[in-house]
Amino acid sequence: MRRFGYSRPDDVGEAIAQERRFPEAKFLGGGTNLVDLMKMGVEKPAHLVDITRLPLTQIEERGNVIRIGALTRNSEVAAHPLVLAKCPVLSEAILAGASPQIRNMATTGGNLLQRTRCFYFYDPSYAECNKRVPGSGCAAIQGYNRIHAILGGSDHCIATYPGDMAIALSALGASIVVQGPRGERTISLDRFYRLPGATPHIENDLKPDELITSIEVPTPTVTGSHYLKVRDRNSYAFALVSVAALVDLAPDKHIRQARFALGGVAPKPWRVPEAEEALVNRPATEAVFREAAEIAVRGAKPHRYNGFKVELAKRAVVRALTTASQRG
Amino acid sequence: MSAHEDDITRRDFVGVTVAAASLYGGAVAEAAPVSGPADTANCSLTINGHRHDLQLEPRVTLLDLMREQLHLTGTKKGCDHGQCGACTVLSDGNRVLSCLTLAITQDGRHITTIEGLASGGQLHPMQEAFIEHDGFQCGFCTSGQICSAVAMLKEVRSGMPSAVSLNTKQTMTDEDIRERMSGNLCRCGAYPNIVAAIRSVEQRG
């Protein structure tokens, strides 16, 4: 691992100032992804600003919004009474990810910024990766692309966003609060992540000297929710396909409102407003859910080894919406 | 990690050192440490009740610190990438992966390893249960399994849900134990006996 400098500021302003002061600096949260990428030689920061002692660990309710401090550990968020009571789909998604040890370490802000697990990105012995080395090509498009994107990819990159928590946050309509030298701003999670286009190395809207300080989750008015994760083994594996679904049913079982987002299929949490609109005022039946699922994967572009994801995604949407409808 | 250990050219090194001289000069405060790439930094941590005052390179992991410098080899290096759980230790009572933990970040923390579970010559009940139920074959994953299991029972008692208990509303079913222990792989496949060992400790309270 390349040598690096280290500092551990105790307030947010000083953390941002240090990130700007030291060349090639990065913020260090739980380190579960960054330290691994440094061992692999994918990330080579010259300085780490350890932000884990900053006072950003509150979870609190303000009106209809749950505000989660960016340095709250994943396990704390998943077990928090407010989260379990008001948006259990977030707990479900977090608990579907990684392992208890990793969830004890990983921070909320860091989880949002985790990098893709595309084999070709993660291993620098592959020369071609536009995300790792812009302009070098993409080894996945003609390579072993079983885990790769069917939606939202480009000729430059077909890597998926690997996380679970952000899929639930997308369905919940969450926003990200960031602090930088120019002050604070709030970005909706769906606009935070970018599609790869010709610049897959730019994954989100965050500037290098900006720090995520909290996540704001509007508490949903729904009758039921579910996070469904489909993977190669039952636990401690990344999603092939996942779906976070929230359904609000009227007493006569018609759908008042429904929201869902897909994971494992695209470079960002994949949410299709037209698919959600197709559910409004319709009965909560398998046929109706299937219609929405067809709309959700419209334009899917499978590659040699991941064609199975198209049908798997549709069936996962139907099952997640069905389970969410039966809850509550 | 060794493949990248020397991944720094002389030019990089000189450049970084010169820059560091102006950036880091003298501004080392106790509460908010700052160190340059060529520096070591102060770090005090307590491992199994013994305090260690150390000068550390920031890139040293907690796992390598314990195994290579402090000769605490009970904690095992399996994958070194957070995929197997063999290096599991407790930091302030919480189970974490020592391979992905930079030692410097643990300044002020209390670490417990497999060497710190026994007390007064008496094995920890979880250690005894693993022996009684034959919860291992080769033993390489065992110290991580046992540390993980000790913290897991504490998590259950404090109300931590799992992906299984969230849906079934039941904790400590076989399925729930397996889910809660999924961060610890055993390539010998001693899983049924590991589950039995953990259950026996839980039942004894």
The model's pLDDT over B118-159, given as tens digits with 9 standing for 90+, comes to 998 999 999 999 999 999 999 999 999 999 999 999 999 999
Closest Cβ–Cβ partner in B8, B31, B32 for A2: B8
What is the nearest CA distance from B98 to chain A, expressed in angstroms?
10
Name which of A278, A271, A265, A275 is nearest A306 in CA terms. A265
Residue matched to tokens 């709030």 = A186
Return all residues near B6 (Cβ < 8 A) that are at least 6 apart: none
Does the pLDDT at position B16 exceed 70? no
The neighbouring-strand residues paired with A184 are A179
Q: Which residues of A touch B178 (CB under 8 A)?
A: 235
CB contact under 8 A, A92 and B36: no
Which residue type does B98 have?
S
CB contact under 8 A, A48 and B58: yes
DSSP state of B99: G
CB-CB neighbors (< 8 A) of A91 in chain B: 161, 166
CB burial of residue B161 (10 Å; 0-12, 13-18, 19+): buried
Contact A162, A238 (CB under 8 A): yes
The Cα A138–Cα B57 span in angstroms is: 36
Please tell me which residue of chain B has the smallest CA distance to A21: B23
Tell me the chain A residues in contact with residue B161 when contact means C-beta distances shorter than 8 Å.
78-79, 84, 91, 95
Q: Say if the Cβ atoms of A100 and B155 lie within 8 Å.
A: yes
Q: Could you tell me the domains of chain A? A: 5-52 (3.30.43.10), 224-326 (3.30.390.50)
> Does A41 contact B36 at a Cβ distance shorter than 8 Å?
no
- Of A172, A145, A178, the C-alpha closest to A160 is A145
Sequence-distant (6+) residues with CB within 8 A of B190 are B134, B135, B136, B137
Distance CA A257, CA A126 (A): 46
The pLDDT, as a whole number, for residue B14 is 38
Contact criterion met (CB below 8 Å) for B183 and B131 = no
DSSP for residue A276: H
* Strands annotated E in chain A: 5-7, 25-28, 47-50, 59-62, 65-69, 175-180, 183-188, 211-218, 224-230, 241-249, 255-263
| Mean pLDDT of all residues in B45-66 | 98
Cβ A8–B81 below 8 Å, yes or no?
A: no
Confidence grade of residue B37 (pLDDT, cut at 50, 70, 90): confident
CB A246 within 8 A of CB A317: no
Sequence-ordered list of residues with C-beta below 8 angstroms from that of B183, at least 6 positions apart, any chain: A98, A99, A100, A101, A102, A236, B85, B88, B148
**Beta bridge partners of residue B34, listed in sequence order:** A7
Phi-psi region of A152 (alpha: psi -120 to 50; beta: other; left: phi over 0): left
Closest in A23, A36, A236 to B100, CB measured: A36
Going by C-beta distance under 8 Å and a sequence separation of 6 or more, which residues neighbour residue A133? Answer: A127
Question: Up-side HSE of residue B197: CA atoms within 13 Å toward CB?
Answer: 26
Q: Which spans in A145-271 are helix H?
A: 165-172, 189-192
Q: Are strands A65-69 and A224-230 parallel, antiparallel or unpaired?
A: unpaired
pLDDT tens string for chain A (328 positions)? 999 999 999 999 999 999 999 999 999 999 999 999 999 999 999 999 999 999 999 999 999 999 999 999 999 999 999 999 999 999 999 999 999 999 999 999 999 999 999 999 999 999 999 999 999 999 999 999 999 999 999 999 999 999 999 999 999 999 999 999 999 999 999 999 999 999 999 999 999 999 999 999 999 999 999 999 999 999 999 999 999 999 999 999 999 999 999 999 999 999 999 999 999 999 999 999 999 999 999 999 999 999 999 999 999 999 999 999 999 7
Tokens 């299984």 locate to B164
Which of B:164-183 have CB within 8 Å of A? 166, 178-180, 182-183
Tell me, what amino acid is at A150?
I
Does the distance separating the beta carbons of B20 and A101 come in below 8 Å? no
User: What distance in Å separates the CA atoms of residue B167 and residue A232, rounded to the nearest whole number?
Assistant: 20
How far lies A54's CA from each of A17, A107, B79, in Å? 14, 12, 31
CATH 3.40.50.300 fits B125-204, yes or no: no
How far is B58 from chain A, CA to nearest CA, in Å? Answer: 6
Task: Tell whether B102 is within 8 A of chain A (Cβ).
Answer: yes
- CATH number belonging to domain B43-116: 3.10.20.30
What end-to-end distance do the CA atoms of chain A give, in Å?
50
What secondary structure letter does DSSP report for A220? P
Q: Which residues of chain B have a CB within 8 Å of the CB of A79? A: 159-161
Question: CA-nearest residue of chain B to A80?
Answer: B160
Going from the C-alpha of B98 to that of each of A2, B77, B107, B126, the distances in angstroms are: 19, 9, 14, 20
Segments making up each domain of chain B, as ranges: 43-116, 125-204
DSSP string, B100-117: GSBGGGGTT-EEE-GGGS
**CA dist., res. A101 & res. A88, Å (int):** 21
* Tens digit of each residue's pLDDT (9 = 90 or more) over A45-88: 999 999 999 999 999 999 999 999 999 999 999 999 999 999 99
Q: What value, to the nearest 5°, has the Cα angle with vertex A164 and ends A159 and A166?
A: 85
Give CA–CA dist A131/A195, Å, rounded. Answer: 12
